[in-house]
């Protein structure tokens, strides 16, 4: 049975799939893990988890499906992250995670000025500097941890780290590089040597490939560890949200892809690089692709927090939230439980729950959580449209689609129809699809439209959209009204 392996290293778990060349999921497995938060604003992870879980999951799948003949491997992971390693590839410290880690907030202005101002940065990189920018995180490490930096030779992300362990090749895909702002030129599709030298002095920049490109093959050493066949090809991989976008065929300008995960990620393909204030301009997974992206700092993380607080089953909470109804019986939440990324770029924002009374139930709180993330999506959509980026529909993927309540709320709040694909397991499926492109034989139908056709379409309810308009206005006003207070609270925390 010919198959491909797709693996995704997420914020809270690693997932792996064996997929047939017709797109069928043969087997899947996962491992949970946690991030480290050594202090407020710092979010890190032990990078050994990435490879260890890749090995464990690969072995598990091969043991469960001994007839599987794995012919190629694709990997994705959270990002943009920064893992510093020495010349031998040994990690020098825990990996610094994406925009949920806000350690660089205090230096963004100074670095922008060093490079000639925001207009100069946007002209080459498409985006202003933010806590999402991996290039600034490299600069932070160079300046704040000089002892570590003196031994640093390379940097990788979860996907490229696993690829390096599999193949021995030091590479990074163009999309991940485009989130290393301000080190990558989105127009030239290349590193910016003078800015790399200024912000990451002495660090060797990885060779750049597109996400579906063949990096190399599984080495004998990696084969012994994973039990994969030696010599099979490995893709360059990419950041999880873009692999998840691949999994649903998201390449159509005007249609926003939503990743319902630990955070909510949003990607809108564009015909060329477009700079949108408060958002991130990136290149895509393939040559000629561009996109504007946004992301919340929390999403599924808050729903998990609520469930843990009340120690309730997910299905029970979902039904109680459904019964709560539009407006959560007068509750309104700001979902900024870890600061916020786009479009407000406020690392000191904090969660707020307004309107609480003793009558409110856990179902009301859960409903308010789902509505808050939907309001966040609408805020991003409005910023995109104000900059001239068309958003006429949505396509979703990820665990949050189960039960359909959450995507229904998002469609009602935004007033946008939403396509739900047949396969919603996410980034590991997109990584498997990219891998299949390396090993396809005549007669194989490696076409994502055939692999993963639409299964459902959610149409917004005009009455619900109208009812949510008032809630959205209050949502926007609540942030401005409480910003000064929560900033003071953040300073004390």
Query: Each residue of 369-404: pLDDT tens digit?
Result: 999 999 999 999 999 999 999 999 999 988 888 889
Average pLDDT, integer, range 260-269: 91
Q: Please give the helix or strand (H or E) that residue 279 lies within, else none.
A: none
| SS3 of residue 285 by DSSP | coil
pLDDT of residue 402: 84
Read off the pLDDT of residues 325-341 as tens digits, 9 standing for 90 and up: 999 999 999 999 999 99
Pairwise pLDDT comparison (324 vs 303), residue with the higher score? 324
The secondary structure of residue 105, as a DSSP letter, is G
Q: What is the 3-state secondary structure (H, E, C) of 402-442?
A: CCCHHHHHHHHHHCCCEEEECCCCCHHHHHHHHHHHHHCCC
Contacts of 260 by beta carbon, 8 Å cutoff, 6+ apart: 299, 300, 396, 397, 398, 399, 400, 401, 406, 407
pLDDT value at position 424? 87
Cα separation, 429 vs 184, in Å, equals 28
Q: Give me the pLDDT at residue 469, please.
A: 98
Q: Are 447 and 18 in contact (CB under 8 A)?
A: no
User: Three-state SS for 72?
Assistant: strand
Q: What does the block give as tokens for 284?
A: 């895509």
pLDDT at 183: 98
What are residue 175's phi and psi, to 5 degrees? -60, -50
> So where are the chain's domains?
2-242
The answer to whether 256 and 292 have CB atoms below 8 angstroms apart is no
Alpha carbon distance 164, 204 (integer Å): 15
| Mean per-residue pLDDT, 165-178 | 98
At residue 251 the predicted structure's pLDDT band, cuts being 50, 70 and 90, is confident
Q: Which residue has the tokens 């464990």?
A: 56
| Residue 325 to residues 334, 453, 469, Cα–Cα distance (Å) | 18, 31, 15
Distance CA 37, CA 11 (A): 13
Q: Which of 168, 42, 55, 132 is nearest to 95 (CA)?
A: 42
Bridge partner residues of 77 (DSSP):
9, 239
The predicted pLDDT at position 403 comes to: 87
- What integer is the mean pLDDT of 139-166? 98
Indicate the length of the chain as a whole number: 493
The three-state secondary structure class of 288 is coil
pLDDT at res. 407: 97
At residue 262 the predicted structure's pLDDT band, cuts being 50, 70 and 90, is: confident
Cβ-Cβ contacts under 8 Å for 114 (sequence gap 6 or more): 198
Taking residues 256-283, what's their average pLDDT?
92
Give the pLDDT of residue 400.
87
pLDDT at 300: 87
Cβ proximity of 242 and 211 under 8 Å: yes
Is residue 359 within a helix (H) or strand (E), and if so which, with residue range? none
Q: What confidence category does residue 437 fall into, taking pLDDT thresholds of 50, 70 and 90?
A: very high
Residue 455 CB neighbours (<10 A)? 12
CA distance 80 to 91: 17
460-493 burial: b if 16+ Cβ within 10 Å, else e: beeeebeebeebbeebeebbeebbeebeeebeee
Structure tokens at 402: 């189960």
The CATH label, of 3.30.420.40, 3.40.50.300, 3.30.70.270, 3.30.465.10, for the domain at 2-242 is 3.30.420.40
**151 vs 479: CA distance, rounded Å:** 43
pLDDT at res. 393: 97
Q: What pTM value is reported for the model?
A: 0.89
Q: What is the pLDDT of residue 466?
A: 97
Q: Residue 5 half-sphere exposure, CB side, CA atoms within 13 Å?
A: 30
Contact criterion met (CB below 8 Å) for 76 and 237: yes
Mean pLDDT over 296-316 rounds to 90
What is the sign, positive or negative, of the torsion defined by CA atoms of 324, 258, 180, 16? Answer: positive
Six-digit token string for 246: 């691949």
The pLDDT-based confidence of 163 (bands split at 50, 70, 90) is very high
CA 456 to chain centre: 24
Residue 5 bridge partners (DSSP): 18, 73
Spatial separation of the C-alpha atoms in residues 341 and 369, rounded to whole Å? 17
């Amino acid at each position: 049975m010919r198959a491909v392996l797709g693996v995704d290293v997420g914020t809270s778990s690693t997932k792996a799939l064996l997929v047939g060349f017709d797109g069928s999921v043969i087997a899947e497995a996962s491992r949970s893990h946690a991030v480290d938060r050594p202090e407020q604003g710092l979010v890190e992870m032990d990078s050994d988890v990435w490879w260890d879980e890749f090995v464990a999951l690969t072995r598990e799948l091969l043991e469960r499906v001994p007839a599987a003949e794995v012919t190629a491997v694709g990997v994705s992971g959270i990002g943009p992250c920064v893992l510093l390693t020495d010349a031998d590839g040994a990690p020098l410290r825990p990996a610094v995670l994406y925009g949920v880690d806000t350690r660089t907030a205090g230096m963004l202005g100074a670095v922008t000025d060093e490079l000639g101002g925001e207009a100069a940065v946007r002209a080459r990189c498409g985006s202003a500097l933010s806590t999402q920018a991996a290039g600034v995180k490299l600069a932070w490490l160079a300046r704040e941890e000089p002892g570590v930096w003196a031994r640093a030779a390379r940097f990788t992300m979860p996907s490229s780290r696993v690829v390096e362990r599999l193949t021995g090749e030091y590479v990074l895909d163009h999309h991940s590089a485009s989130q290393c702002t301000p080190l990558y030129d989105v127009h030239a599709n290349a590193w910016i040597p003078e800015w790399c030298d200024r912000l990451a002095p002495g660090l060797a920049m990885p060779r750049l490939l597109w996400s579906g490109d063949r990096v190399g093959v599984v080495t004998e050493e990696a084969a012994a560890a994973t039990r994969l066949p030696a010599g099979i090809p490995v893709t360059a991989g990419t950041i999880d949200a873009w692999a998840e976008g691949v999994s649903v065929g998201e390449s159509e300008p005007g249609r926003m892809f939503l990743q319902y995960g630990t955070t909510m990620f949003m990607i809108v393909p564009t015909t060329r690089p477009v700079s949108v204030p408060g958002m991130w301009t990136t290149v895509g997974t393939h040559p000629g692709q561009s996109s504007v992206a946004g992301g919340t700092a929390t999403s599924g993380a808050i729903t998990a927090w609520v469930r843990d607080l009340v120690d309730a089953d997910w299905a029970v909470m979902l039904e109680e939230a459904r019964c709560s109804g539009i407006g959560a019986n007068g509750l309104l939440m700001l979902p900024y439980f870890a600061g916020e990324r786009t479009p407000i770029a406020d690392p000191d924002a904090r969660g707020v729950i307004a309107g609480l009374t003793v009558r409110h139930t856990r179902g009301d709180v859960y409903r308010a959580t789902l509505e808050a993330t939907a309001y966040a999506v609408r805020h991003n959509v409005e910023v995109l449209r104000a900059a001239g980026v068309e958003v006429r529909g949505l396509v979703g993927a990820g665990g949050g689609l189960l039960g359909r309540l959450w995507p229904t709320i998002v469609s009602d709040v935004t007033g946008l129809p939403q396509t739900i694909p047949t396969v919603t397991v996410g980034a590991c499926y997109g990584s498997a699809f990219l891998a299949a492109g390396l090993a396809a034989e005549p007669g194989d139908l490696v076409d994502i439209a055939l692999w993963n056709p639409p299964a459902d379409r959610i149409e917004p309810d005009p009455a619900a959209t109208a009812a949510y308009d008032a809630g959205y206005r209050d949502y926007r006003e609540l942030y401005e009204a409480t910003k000064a207070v929560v900033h003071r609270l953040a300073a004390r925390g």
